[in-house]
Amino acid sequence: MTDFEECFSFSAFTIVLMSMISLFMTGYEIVFHNYDFPLDLLHSCVYAIYALSHLLLIIVPASITNEATEAAKSVAMSLPYEISSNEKELKFESQKCFFQKKFLTLWNIYVLDRSLIFTAIGTLLTYGILLGTLGKKLSVRM
């Protein structure tokens, strides 16, 4: 898993970052843009679904993999107690392997878990509302 992490963590970070940016841009466009044609709105909605699917296709399998790693590690941690005391080398090697932290991350910045989905959507909504309210112009009569 460490080889996979080394090769693909930057790619996963880039994909998640770009899909969040595109999801934010299309969400902002859907909410604050006046559409003349309904087909333009449909196009924006389809693109938002596309960006969301890219985001979910990275986060969901990686978080499931990290949860499965934790479950397998907890089962394997109980195995040294079942190994007889005369096989100390096997016991030492098994403990050495399971004390290492191996998780799928986004460029070693954030460990992927299920909460990232809700955190990302909440962040996009918060910044969308913030930029939407800051972007309104005050009408001044001269």
- Quote the pLDDT of residue 133: 83
Cα-Cα-Cα-Cα dihedral of 56, 61, 64, 68, to 10°?
A: -170
3-state class percentages of the chain: helix first, strand second, coil last, to nearest 5:
75, 5, 25
Across the range 27-48, mean pLDDT stands at 91
Q: Note whether 12 and 106 are within 8 A (CB).
A: yes
Reported pTM: 0.80
Return the structure tokens found at 1.
């898993």
- Quote the pLDDT of residue 81: 66
- Quote the pLDDT of residue 137: 62
